[in-house]
Amino acid sequence: MTTATRSPAEITLIALAFVLSGLILVVPLVLIFAFALREGLATYLTNILEPNTLHAVGLTVLTAIIVVPINIVVGVCLAWLVTRFRFPGRQLIITTIELPASVSPIVAGVVYLFLYGGQGLLGPVLQAANIQLMFTVTAIILVSLFVTAPFVARELIPLMQQQGTEDEEAALSLGASGWQMFWHVTLPNIRWAILYGAVLTNARVMGEFGAVSVVSGSIRGQTNTLPLQITQLFNDFNVTGAFAAATTLALIAVLTLILKSSLEGRGWR
């Protein structure tokens, strides 16, 4: 393909793609680091090590550590269920799991408020039991589970559909137990897709803003995740501080892209 004879149309299209992508994608990424470091490295470090920002980093990481493994386990179960069995309601399950990802994150926050909030469905019950769910870390974790519900299953379903069941049936007929079959046959076949789904889940959980801003209460040093902390710094006119906090998420984004790209290079897609 790499011949010296490129048509003028080809050159124009490639150039256009690079210029537009540069303006729309590269420049914004560069700007984050340029603004974070514009007052020097010392200021950058002070900004990053500011207690409320550090706390937000910790809370964001904690949320991801809890949400990602749950998403993996449930994603594998869901994918196994809908690709290995035919039963009534199967299509409904597939549609239900996709719904959270197609709705505005604000709506995600709202539905949780109407379930667990003081005015919500379970509000009186929770109040009687003296349990406060809204505006706590638990609420942040719950909405994060909601918005990322399809992320692992979505990667596994087409792959497992395409792989079929022959390997697994062979393992069973050779006397393997269900768990042996899963660990030695199924899991090795889908591990890269699981990792891929986990990477996407992680990126979304760490960056979720709309849903979390409804249910977290944005209490500084308590329920502020990184995106909320960035917003508050910006609203306080601490632009450099906001960008310093943003570099952490931008680095994770770049890491996500690199992981994603190398996983796709493994050819299972």
Partner 1 sequence: MAQRRSRHLLPGFGLTLGVSMLYLTIIIVLPLIAMLLKVGGMGWEEFWRIVSSNRSLAAYRITFSSALIASIFNGIFGLLLAWVLTRYSFPGKRILDALVDLPFALPTAVAGLVLVTLFSDTGWYGQFLEPNGFKVNYTQAGIIVAMIFTSIPFVVRTVQPVLEEVQVDLEEAARTLGATNWQVFARVIWPTILPAFIAGCVLSFARSLGEFGAVVFIAGNLPGLTEIVSLLIYIRLDEYNYEGAAALAFILLLVAFATLVLTNALGAWQVRYADRRR
| One character per residue 178-197, x = contact with partner 1 (rule: CB under 8 A) | x--xx---------------
**Residue choice 4, 24, 41, 129 for contact with partner 1 (CB under 8 A):** 24
Q: Which of residues 33-52 bind partner 1 (CB under 8 A)?
A: 35
Contact 44, 36 (CB under 8 A): yes
Residue 26 gets which letter from DSSP? I
What token pair was written down for 26?
């590269």
Does 80 participate in binding partner 1 (rule CB under 8 A)? yes
Indicate the angle between helix axes 239-264 and 41-48, nearest 10 degrees. Answer: 80
Paired tokens of 197: 């789904």
Site for partner 1 in 210-249 (CB under 8 A): 210, 213-214, 226-228, 230-231, 234, 239, 242-243, 246, 249
Q: Kindly state the DSSP code that residue 238 receives in the 8-state scheme.
A: -
Stretch that binds partner 1, among 48-56, 88-96, 130-138, 190-198 (CB under 8 A): 88-96
Binding partner 1 by CB under 8 A: which of 25, 49, 65, 131? 25
Asked if 149 and 162 touch (Cβ cutoff 8 Å), the reply is no
The label of the residue with tokens 């680095």 reads: 251
Per-residue interface string for the shown chain with partner 1, residues 140-159, x marking contact by CB under 8 A: --x--xx--x----------
DSSP class of 212: H
Q: CA angle 230-233-238, nearest 5°?
A: 130
| Count of residues that bind partner 1 according to CB under 8 A | 94
User: Could you tell me the smallest distance in angstroms from the CB atom of residue 29 to partner 1?
Assistant: 7
Contact indicator for 213, 56 with CB cutoff of 8 Å: no
Q: Which is nearer to partner 1, 2 or 130 (CB)?
A: 2
Type of residue found at 174:
L
Which listed range, 7-15, 39-47, 128-136, 188-196, lies at the site for partner 1 (CB under 8 A)? 7-15
Cα pseudo-dihedral 109, 110, 115, 119, rounded to 10: 130
Q: Which of 44, 63, 100, 216 forms a contact with partner 1 (CB under 8 A)?
A: 100
The answer to whether 96 contacts partner 1 (rule: CB under 8 A) is yes
Residue 160 interacts with partner 1 (CB under 8 A): yes or no = no
Among 68, 97, 159, 244, binds partner 1 (CB under 8 A): 97
Contact 113, 120 (CB under 8 A): yes
